């Protein structure tokens, strides 16, 4: 979660896009960065996007990243409530969170391709 000030500098990139797009600050708004686990559990309804912050010339910024995730022995999977009604099929298989993070850290950063590890 990010409470931006008017300094700005947050950029995101859609999964299939080459260019990054600036996220303009909105006074009082909280930006929520949804991680890969949430994308899997929501069956892609909520997207995990690449992001980064660039310094700019208008002022300084303080960032305090906090990473929150399931326990290593938790199974992450598409929530049954997302599939209710039967119109959609799961796009992701069930994976042990520790296996997912081990895969993530076993290779160089390559955008959002880590999600392919859980994709059906």
Residues ≥6 apart with Cβ < 8 Å to 48? 33, 34, 35, 36, 38, 39, 112, 115
Report the percent of the chain where pLDDT is more than 90: 32
At residue 53, the pLDDT reads: 76
- 99-114 average pLDDT score: 82
Length of the chain: 120
Classify residue 9 as left (phi > 0), alpha (psi -120 to 50) or beta.
left
Does 106 score more than 80 pLDDT?
A: yes
CA distance 78 to 32: 20
Confidence class of residue 19 from pLDDT cuts 50, 70 and 90? confident
pTM beyond 0.85: no
Average pLDDT, the chain: 83
Tens digits of residue pLDDT in 34-92: 889 999 999 999 988 887 777 767 767 677 777 788 899 999 999 999 998 777 899 99
C-alpha 97: how far from chain center: 15
Pairing of strands 95-96, 75-76: antiparallel
Q: Which element (helix H / strand E) includes 39?
A: helix 36-41
At residue 17, the pLDDT reads: 65
Pairing of strands 50-53, 75-76: unpaired
CA distance 100 to 19: 27
At residue 15, the pLDDT reads: 61
């Amino acid at each position: 979660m990010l409470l931006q000030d008017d300094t700005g500098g947050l950029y995101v990139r859609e999964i299939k896009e080459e260019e990054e797009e600036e996220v303009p600050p909105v006074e009082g708004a909280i930006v929520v960065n949804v991680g890969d686990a949430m994308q899997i559990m929501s069956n892609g309804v909520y997207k995990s996007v690449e992001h980064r912050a660039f310094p700019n010339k208008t002022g300084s910024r303080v960032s305090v990243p906090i990473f929150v995730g399931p326990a290593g022995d938790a199974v992450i999977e598409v929530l049954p409530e997302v599939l209710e009604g039967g119109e959609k099929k799961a796009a992701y298989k069930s994976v042990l969170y520790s296996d997912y993070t081990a895969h993530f850290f076993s290779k160089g950063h390559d955008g959002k391709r880590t999600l392919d590890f859980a994709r059906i």
